Structure 1
Amino acid sequence: MNFIKSGYCIILLCMCFFTKANAQLLTYKTLSAEDGLLSIEVHTIIQDSKGYVWIGTKNGLCRWDSKNFEYFTIADGLPNNEVLYVYEDSKGRIWISCFSEELCYYFNGRIYNSKNAPFLNKIKSQQGLMFIEQNNEFYYKSTDASLIKFNLLTQKSTVIHDSLKAAAFFFIINKGKVWGFQDERNRNRLIAKDARNLILNEDTSYYTPYYFCPNLPSNNILTCIDFRHKRYSFQKGLDTPFYHANYTNKEFRFAIYNEGRIMEIYNNYILQKKDNYKIKVDYPDRQQTIDIKKNLFMVTTDGLLFCRQMPVLEYEQNSRINNNAKFLFRYGGEVYIVNNRYELINVNKQQKINQLKSNAINLYNLLSFEGKFYLSTSFDLYRFADPNKKIEDLNYLRYSNFKYISPSKKANHLFTANGLGPGIFLISPQTHTYDTLLLDIQKNVYSIFEDSHSRLWYSTTDKVYYTDEYYNGIKRSREFVLDPSSPVFCKSIGEDNKGNLFFTTNGGVFVYDGKHKYRIDQASLLSDNECSKVVIDTLRSSFWVATKDGLNRIGYYRENGILKFKVLSKFFASDGLRSDNISDILLDSNKLYIATDKGVNILDDVNYRPDTMPIPVYVKLTAINAAANKGYDTIKTIELEHDRNNLTIGFSALYFLRRDRLKIKAYLYRDNSLVSQNDVTGDKIDYYSLNDGDYKLVLYAFDQDYHYNNGQSTPFEFTIKPPYYKTWWFIIGSSLLVIIISTSLMLWNLTRRKKRAIQQAELQARLNESTLKSLQSQMNPHFVFNSLNTIQSFITEKDEAGAIDYLSDFSVLMREILEQSVHTFISLENEIQFLKQYMQLEITRYKHSFDIAWDIKLDEEDLTDIYIPTMLIQPILENAVKHGVSALNDVKGHIEVTFGLVNKHLLGVTIKDNGQPSGGKSFKGNSIAVQTIKDRLNIYTKNKVKGEYHLLVAETGATATITIPI
């Protein structure tokens, strides 16, 4: 929509007459649908108090943070997608007027329209133009062309003037008092509002055919254009005198006052009057031009033009001239370049003025020496005094490939470094003679320099040398190591007025002050290690470094005998350089010429660096557990359940100046302790599986090259609630429940222990009874009677020794049986010893009619550690003797006894004899003794395991097996 004709204003500031000559082109970029705009037809633009840029387009509303767009359309609550006007009021609400004559506003992440804010139905503004003044009052043009005031608090409308109908309504506010409109007679009027009423200026001197354009968003400068007389004026207040200047340029449209500069708007370019910078554009239909924080935005029907106001300026380069600039030099007040076509071009006149001969290959070095210029190439050395005249070929050396030329202190002589020779030569251009200073096939020399201490420095592909004796030939050189860890290629050597040497290499810049060596590289101060040129500015104690990735200015000074270095400025393609790949730089007083592989740039002020600019950062929660979240546009404390602990947090860092150099760091605190620190790329950061606690997230933004441009977000606070089992009520309830259960278990355990004690007493009584039965079975009268008969037989046979031995063994056995009777358990070692004593008596009693074999498959530790019930195995052995081997007549009896572990909880004992069943009975042994054994095994349990007894009787003998818990 066009800003309409006429208006009154009072005017200030004297203006300069427009001149187009020598204007330089200010760099800019455009934003279109490809960059994210909803439509290239843009109607309005503002920047809100937070720093966001709001862009009203034909297809909806965009909010831009200098990198990303956020969109608002009908789906989000807009009455209509064509947004004609946007305004921010004092409360931070963004008012939006659409083509449908409906009004809505955005606040805290939500759009309010006539459905959720019914009072908006009372406001119908024509053409989408409206204005909100302070004190909650609207001023707008209604659909019947009346000027209306609407009070938000009382929700009442008031007609400003009954007799006035507005053809168009514009506004400008100065100290909260002025706005204006155009009446039906196409006259602009200003209405001033004081604290009590509105004052309509009826004086005819206010009726002028001015076109006036507000400077948004500050609205503190009035701009007026008089098309008839081509006059313009600017003011910061209504009390300044009127001034105007006349022009005849028909392409002149209007002008704005922009950060202390006057910007004149023409049909296809914008001219900045103060510095004569020009923005060349091709948009035929501009609608609004505004200044936003040192960036110029121009709204057009073909998109949004965005100009970064940086004084790294391009001259308007002729397309017929090759862009690849190799060297720069100055002659007679003009600056010239040598490009990669070996052409000499006048930068200011954009003209080719000379050409090297066709066999020139590989430009290496350009030197100004004694009023003449010397240019080295692969096969020739050229000389010229005037670049407009004939170029002389000095090809009189038998060697070619002149890598480098530098001046000598010897009058009218130059040093040359020859890469193919290889060698170093001292040449006299006047006499066309030369002296060979060095010929060494091991040294391909690429640069050479004579310093103020009469030392000659020269470099090869990976080393640097110096010598004190060289005019009569270099006999002795010493190596100067730049980087002990890795060789570097030194491209050139220079010196400042204090004797500090500068080495330009592919690993940064090295500085040597005679005592100390310093390295300036990408790890410290430079934008890239691949350096092509160093220019020393002794007047300002700094030096410029041309690299493959931008231009660097480094300041240096001495402190406590040590050189200190700091970054003063950096420039890149994003700042307006034609390319980041810089081949040469030329310092001319306060101006710097920059040769790149895509053309030439001019820096008008070498002391320039970007102004300090805060970078606001805004944070919002965008997703919880990967589900999109809306409604958190402003910072506030958020409480989340413990299982909603995977968060995606988005942010906007508003930095329009050098967005590509912006860095973001995120610090996450939990309960005031730092738990995470990250460098963030993109526009969001993810946190997974967060523990419960109170969190605070702070984001820091800064320019990686200018750290003084920085900012941080307001702390974004949120709480992850603890799970139910960590809440106080659950802990108290659980504690009470534990106490109740513990008390109940304790009482139950006491009752159980008493019951078990009773059962244990009963069990012990049964064991004792079983033991007695076992004892009784072992004290079988037959065994005693037979033992006494055996003793008697020894006496009768007058075998007193045998009788005494037998009686002694019998008494020991009887004593052992009596001792065991008072114990419930016995070690396996003692039990086996007892059984052996018993069986020895039995063998003696039966006249050695049988023998016994013992197989014990346990180690000594097991024999002493394992305990079993007493008198449990002896009855089984007695049965094997009495009912087994004792019944044999002609065959010698044999008993095998085996002890072994069945598993870690069971001991197995096997007793095998070769006795014959007596009387054809399948059972073999004392039934009372066997039953007693089974009863004892049934009663005795250990580790929840019971023992068993089995007897297998066959024609060849019997096998008894018993397992005992251990």
Structure 2
Amino acid sequence: MFISCIKRLSAGLWLILFTGSALCAQTKADSWTRVSEQGKGSITVLWDEIEPFIYRAKDGKLIGVEYELMEGLKAFLKKHYQVQLEINWKEISDFEKIYPLVRDADQPGVFAVSYYSITEDRKKDVRFSPPYMPDLNVLVTNNQVPVFESREDFRAQVRSLRGYTQRGTTMETDLRQLQAQYFPALPVAYDTDDYAILKQVSQTPQSMAYVPVTIYVVALQRGYKIKRQRLFDIHREGFAAIYSKHSDWETPVTAYFNSQECKTLVASLIRKYLGEEVAAIILGVSEAGNYNGNSDDISLLTKEREIVTHRLMDAAVELERQQSYRNRMLLLLGCSVVFILLLYTRFRTKQRLNSVLKQRNQLISTQNAQIDQMNRRLQLKVLQTRMNPHFLFNSLNAIQYFVVEGDKRLTLQYIKRFSGFLRKLIQFGDETVVAVADEIALLKAYLWLEQSRFPDLLEYEVAETDTATGQQVLPLLTHAIVEKQLYKRLLNQGVPGKLYVQFHPGADVLTVVITVAVTGTALPEAYVNDAGVQKENALLEERIRLFNKHSKRKISVTTEEQGSVSTTTIKVPQPLFEPVTDAHPFHKT
């Protein structure tokens, strides 16, 4: 018996010392009886930093929903009880340590705030103020975790997950219940506060945690990579301040938290620290029984309508109390509603007209782009049909030469190849774009004809690749440039040489390299630049200029000369003509 008493005495002495140390001995925490008798006094409020409930601003001052809420108690007591109250704010930088300090406090004026959830187990140890804000814990996972469509879906996936929580919180309770029900071997790690937990979830692919919906929304605003799972929401009675079971502050605290002044202050504080839209969403989904699965936008609209309804009801009650102003206020209210409806109708009509006008402008812009592209293709087609036919006359002269020489075999072969070339030329003359394979075939046919006319002067080689499939060029583009180089560098000079043509397809650009290597001495420039070639050069430059004028990506032609070797490089964008996107059809809005 004696030993038992000694143990209890030692435990009590340890508790006193621990509490005194934690609260900094001599901290004033008066009883309500003393404060009401003297007309003034002090209480101590313990807190742990958590935004937006209670935290320090950049200048070091305390701010937050719970800070201003408790400060509002001073004004309430002064107004209704004519007492002057001072609050000593004591930071305890460990949420888990605050609860036992309040539970075991021997001073009646010790309170604590850090968005404490009201639970039946805690009611056995401490007193709670009436709840000031709804309390909803939601299950949050990393963004990479798929959405759980059902509880069975969760059961199938939970084995690959890892849990995070904070000791001594309802979040730990909820996570442990989920663990016990679905996967007892679920690994659980602890962290210091809600945001540290959510940071871990954001950075760990297969992870989850329970957090209050308020903290979840704030974390989303901060850019955390998390998402809410709509299963397993836990509603509780609400958030409240806590104080000792032995405290006599229940009467004024209950009166304050249940007062309309407090409710109005809380509503304004939530909007102040969370913003109008976020506050409406949080209040809408946190209130037990109100959540119906709609999106945040619908929740926000619903909450706005509820506010308007409450205001109208308050106005009606006030009108009943003030009979002399009833008719005037009803008339004013009716006029206001009509005015709002008129403004809303005008706004919706203006929105609808703006939408239709925007769609029409998009359609006109698209049609203009299509017409411009059609005009450009038509101009390109007209230019290519005006190409100088001097090659055709030269070919007819060659046929006449072969006939006179009596070379029947070569004459018939030349005529056959020449007729094939003419068919391709006529076919391509009606196109605005041709495939690279067709352009290569036309180029080979042309070079064979020219080599037949000048067997001693011309050797050629055309290198192609299968990867050019699907790429396009302007009809006769390479043919015109090859013909220009051929006559300027070889045929008009009467010296032998070799022509190389290489096609290099690319994802965005088709590159054609034309190389002419000659020997001997060039003839005078006046003789080289005959009228036919000059006319074709002018038409070719005009075709390229017209294409480049209306295109973002340009065709480029560059020529470099090194001694007897001349290299011309052609770069053709792919696709050649960019498609014009059709505008959306008109629709009612």
TM tier, smaller: 0.3 to 0.5
The structure showing larger relative contact order (alpha-carbon pairs under 8 Å, at least 6 residues apart) is 2
More helix per residue: 2
Structure index of larger Rg: 1
More strand per residue: 1
Q: TM-score, normalised by structure 2?
A: 0.46
